[in-house]
């Protein structure tokens, strides 16, 4: 669950609100990993030692998934010749085939076919997957979405129906995080946990717009943003997934979990000279500036390494990939 998962209409939330003025912040020492402006859709390797991205450098015969060491110690090279939706731990690949998804276990090349109809796979513990089959036409937030789960090799099972949404992430082996409307014509959408064995739902929050829903790596908390609802309801929140009140945060920005207890975020502070990474501590409920990137991130493309020690980002201006160590 370390990797980010997005609502189908999802986004990282952001705003101009409430990050305090910035005291002296350590300046990042950047390592440039690429040249030539490659690297959209970058992800970290599971061991936090390399970055992976789709590319076809000049002279290459075809596109592939390239890898470049985070230490900057070597040039990019082909890591995976087949382009597919890979599980974050690189144990499975999802290959779209028409209205199905061919899932292959990379260790033995065993394959399964799932009738996803274009739905993205959410890789769960123990060889489980979830996906949402959504209508492709009609009002965006009234389109029916049916959530399916399966352990590979079994028949997929419909576990939930929502409108204008779908499954967001696995919280553990038996629980999914789902967002959507309970019926097509209601105003608000819900964010709820779903026990995939019993079908029991626990609604965490109901709001007009829920954005950037991201469970913590241990699945015990979820971060989300509410936008364009009542003024007093809008903002950035964290909430325990097992029950408990939401905590409204004093900042709004692009955010990612560093570990189970810390969120990293870049505030939406307009016209600042550089982007600064802040850290919010779940235990102390406090934020502090962590690292001044000394430049700006392009298109919100920044990724925290799975071990929480580094941040990679695509730099505005040259569109190349850079890495910095986090304090």
Binding region for another protein (CB under 8 A):
6, 9-17, 36-38, 40-41, 54-56, 62-63, 83, 85, 96, 98-99, 117-119, 134-137, 139-142, 164, 187, 208, 211-212, 225-228, 231, 234-236, 252-254, 266, 268-272, 275, 296-300, 316, 319
Q: Minimum CB separation from another protein for residue 205, in Å?
A: 14
Cβ-based nearer residue to another protein, 73 or 299: 299
Cβ-based nearer residue to another protein, 141 or 218: 141
Cβ-based nearer residue to another protein, 11 or 260: 11
Q: Minimum CB separation from another protein for residue 239, in Å?
A: 16
Q: Minimum CB separation from another protein for residue 99, in Å?
A: 4
Q: Which two tokens stand for residue 3?
A: 């990797």
Q: Minimum CB separation from another protein for residue 200, in Å?
A: 28
Q: Please write down the long-range contacts of 18-22, taking CB distance under 8 Å and 24 or more positions apart.
A: 18/250, 18/251, 18/252, 19/250, 19/251, 19/252, 19/253, 19/267, 19/269, 19/278, 19/287, 20/250, 20/287, 22/276, 22/289
Cβ-based nearer residue to another protein, 204 or 276: 276
Residues 6+ apart with CB under 8 A from 21: none
- Report how far residue 4's alpha carbon sits from residue 261's, in angstroms, rounded to the nearest whole number: 16
Query: 92-97 and 100-105 as β-strands: parallel, antiparallel, unpaired?
Result: antiparallel
Residues of the chain by 3-state class (helix, strand, coil), percent to 5: 0, 50, 50
Q: CA nearest 293: which of 311, 320, 271? A: 311
Which residues are registered as beta bridge partners of 287? 280
Cβ-based nearer residue to another protein, 37 or 217: 37
Cβ-based nearer residue to another protein, 193 or 275: 275
Q: Which two tokens stand for residue 323?
A: 């890495």
Q: Minimum CB separation from another protein for residue 120, in Å?
A: 8
Q: Minimum CB separation from another protein for residue 56, in Å?
A: 5
């Amino acid at each position: 669950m370390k990797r980010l998962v997005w609502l189908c209409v999802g986004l990282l939330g952001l705003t101009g609100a409430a990050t305090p003025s910035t005291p002296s912040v350590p300046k990042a020492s950047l390592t440039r990993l690429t040249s030539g402006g490659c690297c959209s859709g970058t992800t970290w390797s599971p061991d936090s030692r390399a970055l992976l991205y789709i590319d076809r450098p000049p002279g290459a015969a075809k596109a592939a998934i390239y890898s470049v060491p985070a230490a900057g110690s070597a040039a990019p090279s082909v890591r995976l010749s087949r382009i597919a939706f890979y599980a974050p731990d690189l144990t499975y690949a999802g290959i779209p085939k028409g209205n199905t998804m061919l899932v292959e276990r990379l260790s033995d090349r065993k394959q399964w076919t799932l009738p996803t109809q274009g739905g993205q796979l959410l890789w769960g513990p123990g060889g489980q997957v979830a996906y949402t089959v959504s209508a492709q036409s009609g009002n965006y937030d009234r389109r029916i979405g049916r959530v399916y789960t399966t352990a590979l090799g079994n028949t997929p099972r419909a576990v939930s129906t929502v409108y204008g949404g779908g499954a967001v992430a696995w919280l553990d082996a038996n629980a999914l995080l789902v967002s959507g409307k309970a019926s097509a014509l209601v105003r608000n959408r819900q964010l709820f946990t779903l026990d995939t064995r019993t079908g029991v739902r626990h609604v965490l929050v109901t709001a007009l717009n829920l954005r950037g829903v991201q469970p913590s790596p241990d699945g015990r908390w979820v971060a989300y943003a509410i936008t364009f609802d009542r003024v007093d309801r809008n903002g950035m929140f964290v909430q325990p997934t097992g029950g408990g009140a939401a905590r409204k945060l004093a900042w709004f920005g692009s955010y990612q979990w560093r570990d189970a207890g810390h969120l990293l975020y870049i505030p939406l502070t307009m016209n600042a000279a550089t982007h600064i990474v802040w850290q919010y501590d779940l235990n102390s409920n406090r934020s502090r500036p962590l690292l001044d990137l000394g430049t700006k991130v392009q298109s919100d493309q920044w990724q925290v390494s799975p071990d929480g020690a580094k941040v990679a980002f695509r730099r505005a201006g040259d569109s190349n990939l850079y890495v910095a160590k986090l304090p």
